[in-house]
Structure 1
Amino acid sequence: MNVQRWMARREASWRQLDALLQRAEKKGLKSLSGIQVRQMASLYRSVSADLARAKSNAVGQAVIKDLQQLTSRGYRQIYQGSRRQEWQELLDFYRYGFPETVQQTWPYIAIATALFGLGGLVGWWFAWQDPAFLRSVLGQAFVEEVKTSQELWTVSILGVEPVASSQIMINNIGVSLWAMIGGIAMFMPSVPLLTPPGAFTVYLLLFNGLMIGCVGVLVAQAGLAWDLWAFVFPHGSLELPAIFMAGGAGLLLARSILLPGAYRRADALRIYGLQAVRLLYGIITLLVIAGIIEGFFSPQPWIPNGLKYAVGMALFIGLVQYCRRQRPA
């Protein structure tokens, strides 16, 4: 290889990459256009190949050193810069992207909330009217144990907080995933028949609401309502809205299949599916926080119930304000 001729032919690319890197180092990658970023990546790859060739063809050490510095700078900007960009995009999603998605999908979240509330009202009404209904939903042994012991079952968390917290997170995330997947699932567990998209989501919301309604009657009859709702408020202020959002995501997916509107079903599923996935990212974060609170804060007997109610209300108000957040103009 004629070293001088090769260097003369390649030097323009090296200087071009150096100029782009200097600009990125001084003003950041955002100062480069999309075309310039792609050009920088292409030049980086070609200069990396030049470095390998220089090392294998007895090119002077000064040239090799210059090319090593150039490739090192290129690596930092292209790969570490892209990581910084990813973190910035993640931060932007949690600052504005998730609230925007909640605002865009609020009718579906509202319907999911109403279904849960309907299940709760039905459970409360029938459990209050008929003790047999209460026992059939919650189980005879559980009902008798609560009424006899006059103690909440939540004390089982004490002493095993880390394990309980992780199990709570896993369970709640699983419920949320099923509520979302139920929007497109054509089956229901234990039901050997095909069902319409969204049926399982509706079933989950109604059933969980029914359970909450029955539990409410049980603790009211046992004189434990104040203590139970003090336990529920801190984590429930995040956990229940997250489950409603998951139900809304499931209904959104069901809508894309059943009522695609002006879109083809495949296009509707892609459009609404993206919104559902964006909801899911935020939901998982809410459930992780709720799981930590439920494991380490909610069951602690030394924390006054009044404080637990206050924390729950503050978290809920904060969540509402967060979900109303607008991106600056």
Structure 2
Amino acid sequence: MDLDAYVAEHGGEWRRLEQLSRRRRLNAAEADELVALYQRAATHLSLIRSRSPDPILVARLSRLVLAARNALTGSPSFSMAGVGRFFARTFPLTVYRAWPWWCGVATVFTMLSLAVMLYIVNNPEVAGYFATDEQINQLVNQDFAGYYSQYMPQNQFLRVWTHNALLTGMCLASGVAFIPVIYLLFANAFDVGLIGGVMIAYGHGDVFWGLILPHGLLELTAVYIGAGVGLRIGWAWVAPGPFRTRGRALAETASEGILVALGLIAVLLVSGLLEAFVTPAPVPYVVKDLAGFLVWIGFFVYVFMLGRKAHVEGATTEAEGEIVQAALPAT
């Protein structure tokens, strides 16, 4: 296909379609013209995608077709039904589809944390390479437990929620480049292992597990999901598969990544509430740990039951009414 000739032949129709799409009011003749031009532009987009997928032209026509569709049907409005559908189907489906990635990430870096922790417990003098004796005593006797009660609960909640959301977002976004997300995960896993090893080696293992498990199980799971989905996006660029271009594979997995990021905001909200209100609560450690464990298990049940159900039913992650390539006219 000669793209220059094709653009020259149909450019006038596209400009006219753009003009009609921007008008707030159309008479009957203009509305009929808009429908006809929209159908033709959708066909042009499908042909260009299949025969000569120039990314700039595809992006231009995609925006034009979507604008025309909105002009014909009206922009989608916010509804609680859409929110419910997102959390009942779309979010668990996207997380479920990526489970081999984030479960693999969780396994590798959890084992790393435990290995560092075990090494420090057996070789407590190694902690001296990373902190002075005064800093270690301060951590063990004051700082670790004091961290969870140094602010009012509502302030602590907002603080940890935004911090964890930023860390998870960085893991997801940097997954496409592989190395940055691995560095972030390694640094986080090493810090957890080092602090846990020091606390256990100095006889405060009950404090460490009692304060980190109520919120940490769900919090770390969210971080690992973000990292796993980010790595999945990067791998789609490396190995798009036999029936997709690299650009299309990247766009599809990245769009699912955005959905995961939106859902993880809510997951981290829950872990933030646990950290701010449950972790420092004046109740036995076993009670707090049990509460965190039940919430964590509940999340897995939610993802794998609803996600697998949506997957078996053939559900998609496309927004209702969204134009996808398969839905466009091919002739």
2:108 counterpart residue number: 115
TM-score by length of 1: 0.66
The separation in 1 between residues aligned to 2:251 and 2:189, in whole angstroms, is 30
Kept after mapping to 2: 8 A contact 1:138/1:214? no
- Whose RCO is larger (CA < 8 A, sep 6+)? 2
> By how many angstroms is 1:139 displaced?
6.2
Which of 231, 251, 255 is residue 211 of structure 2 equivalent to? 231
| One-letter amino acid of the structure 2 residue matched with residue 105 of structure 1 | A
1:319 counterpart residue number: 299
* Structure 1 residues 17-96: aligned runs within 5 Å: 82-83=76-77, 86-96=79-89
Which of 124, 132, 155 is residue 163 of structure 1 equivalent to? 155
> By how many angstroms is 1:269 displaced?
0.8
For the aligned residue pairs, the C-alpha RMSD in angstroms reads: 2.7
Alignment partner of 1:83: what SS? coil
Larger deviation, residues 135-144 vs 160-169? 135-144
Kept after mapping to 2: 8 A contact 1:119/1:205? no
1:259 counterpart residue number: 239
Alignment partner of 1:299: what SS? coil
| One-letter amino acid of the structure 2 residue matched with residue 153 of structure 1 | F
1:291 counterpart residue number: 272
Change (3 A) 1:137 1:95: farther
Kept after mapping to 2: 8 A contact 1:137/1:211? no
Q: Which has the larger radius of gyration?
A: 1
The separation in 2 between residues aligned to 1:255 and 1:82, in whole angstroms, is 33
Q: Are 1:306 and 2:286 matched, yes or no?
A: yes
1:135 counterpart residue number: 128
| One-letter amino acid of the structure 2 residue matched with residue 83 of structure 1 | S
> By how many angstroms is 1:292 displaced?
1.7
Query: Paired residues, what number?
Result: 241
> By how many angstroms is 1:259 displaced?
2.2
Kept after mapping to 2: 8 A contact 1:180/1:251? yes
> By how many angstroms is 1:180 displaced?
0.9
> By how many angstroms is 1:140 displaced?
5.3
Change (3 A) 1:174 1:294: same
> By how many angstroms is 1:152 displaced?
5.2
> By how many angstroms is 1:108 displaced?
0.7
2:56 counterpart residue number: none
Q: Specify every segment of 5 or more residues in structure 1 that has no aligned partner in the other structure, as ranges.
A: 1-43, 48-77, 185-196
After superposition, the C-alpha distances for 1:172-225 in whole angstroms (9 at most, x for unaligned) are 1111011112112xxxxxxxxxxxx21111122222111111122111122221
Q: Specify every segment of 5 or more residues in structure 2 that has no aligned partner in the other structure, as ranges.
A: 1-23, 28-72, 314-331
| One-letter amino acid of the structure 2 residue matched with residue 118 of structure 1 | M
After superposition, the C-alpha distances for 1:138-179 in whole angstroms (9 at most, x for unaligned) are 6654313134x3x45232442522222211111111110111
1:178 counterpart residue number: 170
Kept after mapping to 2: 8 A contact 1:242/1:287? yes
Change (3 A) 1:169 1:105: same
Alignment partner of 2:241: what SS? coil
1:146 counterpart residue number: 139
